[in-house]
Structure formats: C-alpha cells, structure tokens
Amino acid sequence: MADVNVPGGLAVIIPAKDEAERIAKTVEAALALPGADVVIVVDDGSSDATASIALKAGAQVVSHEVNQGKAAAMETGAARAAVLDSAVLPAGPRALLFIDADLQESAAATATIVEPVLAGEADMTIALIPPQATAGGGSGRVVRLSRKGIRQATGWTATQPLSGTRCISRPAFDAALPLALGWGVETGLTIDVLGAGYRVIEVPCELHHRVTGADLRGQLHRAGQYRDVGLALLERRARSIPALSRGFRPAAKVVRKVLGG
C-alpha cells in the first residue's frame, strides 16, 4: 500500500483546446470549488480566444505554442501546480483536480470527487457521469478496449474508463509519470496508479459536457482515441521486455504524428 497523503489544498487543472465558448463558465465554477486555491488553464495551442477569456475569468493560464494533446496539457498544468506548491509546503503538495473545459456550471459538481482525496480515503477518484441530454454517436468500442485493458493489467473493472474528470493526490500522480500519450492518458493513469499500490474509486458526479457526435469529425476523434488507448496498453505490456520498452515511446510518437493528432 502506498503512503497515505494529506495534501495542502487543491489545484484545478483544465486542459483546453479551442474552448472559447465554454471556458469562462468552467473557470468560474472551478474557482468556487471548496478547497481550490489555484485554477490553471492549459491552453493547448488553441486558435481561438481560449487563453484570454480564461485569464479574464480568473484562471492562471499556461499556453502551449503548438497543440500537444490532452496528456501533455495535463503534465504542463501539474508542473505549474508543483511550482506553486513550494509556497504551501510543509503543509504538503496540493491534490490535483483535472476537469474538461466544456463542463461549464456543472463543474461545481466535482466537489463530490474531491472530498475522498482530501480526506485521505482515496488516492484517485474518477467521475462517474450520468447519461447526457444528447446521445453520443459511439458504439462503445473505445470504452470496451480501455476497460478490458485496465482489467487485464490490474484486475479492476472501470465503469467509465475514459472519464477524464479525476482528482488525484500528488504522490499518486507523480508515480504515473510520464503520462500515456494523447487520449491514452486516462487508461494509462488508471493502470499505473493502481500498479503503484494506490487506491482508485469511481464516484457519481452530475456533470454535463459536449458529447462526441456520429458525424465524420466524431468518428475521426474516436479513431484517435482508439489508437491512443491501444498505444497506452501496448506500452504498458512492453514494460516487461526492457529492449522493447526503451524504444516504445519514440515509436509511438512517430505513429501518432504520421496518423495525425
């Protein structure tokens, strides 16, 4: 069992790519969360006004000049939070709450997933979200790939393995670095945090977000998710073979670049 962590507060991290329409409300809700004294928006190479709107709404903003994907945005946000943590030590590092930029007012509901981590009852919580008002256009293929891969690697069955709204203690997060690339991040994080002996639970949370449709754009998005979840699982399987493991990440980056995303 990993060390129980008593964190020194909460840093909210919001990866955001072209979220100008929704980011202000999400930031406002995040700033009002109990215990949150830092809200960081990582503008992941947006081509719209995401960064300036987030700043105006009261967030700290870190910008990627070019788009690097959600996982890289999460790592950038966590690195900024670590710098700010030096001011709260020795109270301990802040726990990290990752939320999507499109949650808007519903981000207030994430208080339910923060509580178990701040209370030291869980090391990572994952939001279990209700059916959304608009139905999504997926067939469940990516979800099944992720769920099965997590189960095979850890024995634990996730209900919503792709849910990215998560609260995590700093030691558990650091144990999972470097994060899996792009959309593989949730799958990799769950496997690595459990593998390091930390406690993971799913917690119901009334969140509302933009669902991915069934149009071409939506299907391309799912293809990218499938690729990245697959790469995250393969990378973890390759760990038992050192020679393969060393070359995996550079090769995975090339695959992602060639396929786009």
Ligand X SMILES: O=c1ccn([C@@H]2O[C@H](COP(=O)(O)OP(=O)(O)O[C@H]3O[C@H](CO)[C@@H](O)[C@H](O)[C@H]3O)[C@@H](O)[C@H]2O)c(=O)[nH]1
Specify which residues 61 forms β-bridges with: 41
The rounded distance, in Å, linking the Cα atoms of 118 and 160 is 22
Contact between residue 245 and residue 238 where contact means Cβ atoms under 8 Å apart: yes
Number of residues that bind ligand X (CB under 6 A): 21
Both tokens of residue 245?
Answer: 């493991």
Pick the piece of the chain touching ligand X (CB under 6 A) from 16-24, 88-96, 148-156, 243-251.
16-24
Contacts with ligand X, 107-136, as mask; x by CB under 6 A: ------------------------------
Both tokens of residue 128?
Answer: 């279990």
Number of residues that bind ligand 3PG (CB under 6 A): 11
By beta-carbon proximity to ligand 3PG, the closer residue of 104 and 163 is 163
Cβ of residue 3: shortest distance to ligand 3PG, in angstroms? 34
Query: CA torsion, points 217, 16, 201, 89, in degrees to nearest 10?
Result: 160
Place of tokens 């995975």: 252
Q: Does 71 bind ligand X (CB under 6 A)?
A: no
By beta-carbon proximity to ligand X, the closer residue of 118 and 232 is 232
Pick from 77, 138, 161, 184: which binds ligand 3PG (CB under 6 A)? 138
Strand intervals (E) in 30-176: 36-44, 60-64, 95-98, 124-128, 166-168
CA neighbor of 36 nearest in space, from 167, 176, 199, 175: 167
Pick from 47, 86, 90, 140: which binds ligand 3PG (CB under 6 A)? 140
CA neighbor of 168 nearest in space, from 196, 205, 200, 209: 200
Q: Does 17 bind ligand X (CB under 6 A)?
A: yes
> What residues make contact with ligand X under the rule CB under 6 A?
15-17, 19, 44, 67, 69-70, 73, 100-102, 162-165, 183, 186, 209, 212, 225
| Residue ranges in contact with ligand 3PG by CB under 6 A | 136, 138-143, 162, 212, 222, 225
